[in-house]
Amino acid sequence: MADLEIRNLHVRTEEREILRGVDLSVSKGEIHALMGPNGSGKSTLANTILGHPAYEITAGEIRFRGQDLTEADPEDRAQAGLFLAFQYPAAIPGVSVANFLRMAINTRRDEPIGVREFGAQLRRVTELLRVDRDFTSRHLNDGFSGGEKKRCEILQMAMLAPEVAVLDETDSGLDIDALRTVAEGVNTLHAETGMGALIITHYQRILHHVTPDFVHIMLDGRIVREGAPELVDQLEREGYDWLRDELEVVTGAPEEDDV
Amino acid sequence: MSDGNGSRGRPAPRSTKPGAARQATLYRPLAGAGAGNGRAPDELRAAALAVFEAAELPAWRRSGFWTTSLRDLALDQLAPHHPGPDAAVPDVVSDAVGDEPLAGRLVQLAGDVVDVHLDPELAERGVILCSLEEAFERHGDLARRYFMRRLTYERDKFEAAAAAFWTGGAFLYVPPGLTVERPFQILYAIEDGGTAQYAHTLAIGDRGSDFRLREYDLAAPFFGQALHAGHFELYLEAAARCRLLHLQDWSAGDGEVYDVSTHFVRVARDAHCTWIPIHLGGRLTRQHLELSTAEPGADMRHRGIYFTEASEHLDLYTVDLHESGHTTGDTVWKGAATGASRASYEGLIKIDPGAQESHTYLQTHSMMLSPRAKVDAIPSLIVETDSVSASHGGTVGEVDEGQIFYMRTRGLSRQEAVRVIVEGYFEPIVVQLEDPALEALVRERIAAKLAAAAQDIDAYAAAR
């Protein structure tokens, strides 16, 4: 059984149903890419995996390493080894990146982390990601540029060393340097700790720097196609329309609620 | 110094029908009040007593927003207590102040000064720290020159009471050109229910002096009601610099402290004051805080925090007064409210005629942490000249669910996340206290208030 198992997941907000039966498995050591057009439900899936209270699960389940997390609090999912790199990270004024990381690490330990151990770990990670040390004394995401916010997400991922990380459009809007930082962070953790990743993206660009083992395509709240990395090339050449056309051929006319 | 026999012959305050004398909390100037003008303290007492006798219990009303009424205070049940000069310094004082080396310290318990200490080397160099009573005996000219120079006793019954009935008191004088790195501490403590404490601090920084002053208002746990009616005045002469902190924490135990006080700071030519009041609680607080940049080149930074809980009522009125041109100011207040508490803040920028080339800014931020709490923050502006820059801004916020979810995905519980958000909100002001013991105390008290209101905060955040 995979580490992260999502089965027949149906999710709705107050307004409408967004996910309509998602099945997805991600194990440690695997890199998955999830692609799909705007509004197909990718971010909803990411937030639901971490337990966002605004999304209601109406059917299906989320299991992680055998544990049923469908109804679990976000902090329990985090402590179990899941991580979400946000598309739009929240700013927390008055709290330094370093202090926040220390608090987050301490939620995973019985004894608080020692000053030296924490300092050494932070040094290693900031060097790896080529982030200025001053960065960690700034207030968390407060006044950060878009690129800085994304680097900060990857910095947190590297410090917290999750079993499986979900990256929600972390590549969007990044210049090539920041994109490389993000990619290197994922690749290094993958190589060193065997971290699994679900990389949600619109664009093929990041997948030139991180090679996925599996590619999934989401349309209208379902995963409609899964395959090898070559699928990415096809999307790059042809967009999503061929996929819609093909689906209609296979399933006949779109179901009523697909409209 | 007090004779300590407990009956000082001052009349007990008389109760009158509450609320009949209502005042709008619009600008009622201290400016130019000049109650002192070299008059002997006894003359002032007599004049203030006449006002006190004639005045009714006040209520402050900001039409459409709030009313601060003292109708729940049983004034006739209160009396000034005199524990005597040899009484022990209460634990609440030693617990709060830490063990940082000081330039000097004065402690007043109820109506008597019970402890004065001044570094002998500083005394040698002309620094004076003693009770205000002693200052009138031994440094009469100096004390009379400044006493009540800009305060009044005429605006309401409590102001009159403080001017008529004060005992003990604190007097600090820092001579010209002297820099004192270590802070001076002045503490007012109330230990027993039924106490009416009438406080008066007079502090003077002479030309080119540079010092730190901290005033603490603290209550030990007790039952029943108490009153603190106080005056505070600080005069900074040319090129003097002062870092002034006020810590008000009347909320220990079940005691109900009513605090009606007026604080005034005057900043002269090229002088500077950083003034940071911290309000951590009290049953009812009504304070007028006024900071005047009075001569060219005067500059001030005003930073304040309040945090109300349970059924506390806070009514703060601050004035950033520019009496001369080429003066600068910057005011930031941050508040939070839990429970069914009521926090009202009004911050006025007033620029007098002729005070051209004044530049100032006022911001007020508040955070609601309970559906039953009420917070109002009103910045206002009276500009009576041209060629100035004066502006204000304000936010009333709530803890954001997006921030909470973000931190929970990193492993923090909802309650921890709220604490981090609220502490982070206050932190930029807390670090400016530049006193590790005081910073730790403020953080600890904020955390305790949040923990006490945790259920309420959760329910509120989840409901939105």
Distance CA B180, CA B202 (A): 18
Q: What is the pLDDT of residue A218?
A: 95
Residue to test with chain A: of B410, B413, B421, most A Cβ within 10 A: B410
CB within 8 Å: A92 and B412: no
CB within 8 Å: B401 and A53: yes
Residue B425 in contact with partner chain A when CB distance is under 8 A: yes
Residue B95's nearest CA partner among B214, B203, B220 is B220
CB within 8 Å: A94 and B400: no
* Whether the predicted pLDDT of B365 surpasses 70: yes
What is the tens place of the pLDDT at every residue in B369-418?
Answer: 998 999 999 899 999 999 999 999 988 877 888 999 999 999 999 989 99
Q: Which two tokens stand for residue B267?
A: 């900043």
The pLDDT > 90 percentage for chain B reads 76
Residue B428 in contact with partner chain A when CB distance is under 8 A: yes
CB within 8 Å: A94 and B428: yes
Q: What is the pLDDT of residue B8?
A: 43
Per residue of chain A (259 residues), give pLDDT as tens.
Answer: 789 999 999 999 988 999 999 999 999 999 999 999 888 999 999 999 999 999 999 999 999 999 999 999 999 999 999 999 999 999 999 999 999 999 999 999 999 999 999 999 999 999 988 888 899 999 999 999 999 999 999 999 999 999 999 999 999 888 888 899 899 999 999 999 999 999 999 888 899 999 999 999 999 999 999 999 888 888 888 888 888 888 876 655 444 443 3
What is the tens place of the pLDDT at every residue in B305-346?
Answer: 999 999 999 999 999 999 999 999 999 999 999 999 999 999
CB within 8 Å: B405 and A52: yes
Residue B459 in contact with partner chain A when CB distance is under 8 A: no
Residue A81 in contact with partner chain B when CB distance is under 8 A: no
What is the tens place of the pLDDT at every residue in B74-93?
Answer: 999 999 999 999 999 988 88
Residue B407 in contact with partner chain A when CB distance is under 8 A: yes
Across chain B, mean pLDDT equals 90
Give the residue from chain B lying closest to A139, CA to CA: B424
CB within 8 Å: A89 and B411: no
Residues of B in contact with A162 (CB under 8 A): none
Q: How many CB atoms lie within 10 A of CB B317?
A: 23
The nearest CA of chain A is from the CA of B425 a distance in Å of: 6
* Whether the predicted pLDDT of B13 surpasses 80: no
Contacts of A239 (CB under 8 A, 6+ apart): none
What is the tens place of the pLDDT at every residue in A72-129?
Answer: 999 999 999 999 999 999 999 999 999 999 999 999 999 999 999 999 999 999 998 8
Distance CA B22, CA B19 (A): 6
DSSP string, B87-120: SPPPHHHHHHHTT---SEEEEEETTEEEEEEE-H
In this prediction the ipTM stands at: 0.94
Q: How far is CA A75 from the centre of its chain?
A: 16
Residues of A in contact with B408 (CB under 8 A): 51, 73-75, 78
B61: number of CA atoms within 13 Å, CB side? 9
What single DSSP character describes residue B225?
E
Give the number of A-B residue pairs with CB atoms closer than 8 Å.
78
Residue B57's nearest CA partner among B44, B76, B34 is B76
Contact B165, B203 (CB under 8 A): no
What is the tens place of the pLDDT at every residue in B104-121?
Answer: 999 999 999 999 999 999
The identity of residue A207, as a single letter, is: L
Q: Is A239 exposed, middle or buried (0-12, 13-18, 19+ CB in 10 A)?
A: exposed
Q: How many CB atoms lie within 10 A of CB B20?
A: 11
CB within 8 Å: B411 and A86: no
Find the CB nearest A78 among B409, B424, B426. B409
Residue B286's nearest CA partner among B340, B334, B228 is B228
- Distance between the two ends of chain B, CA-based, in angstroms? 57
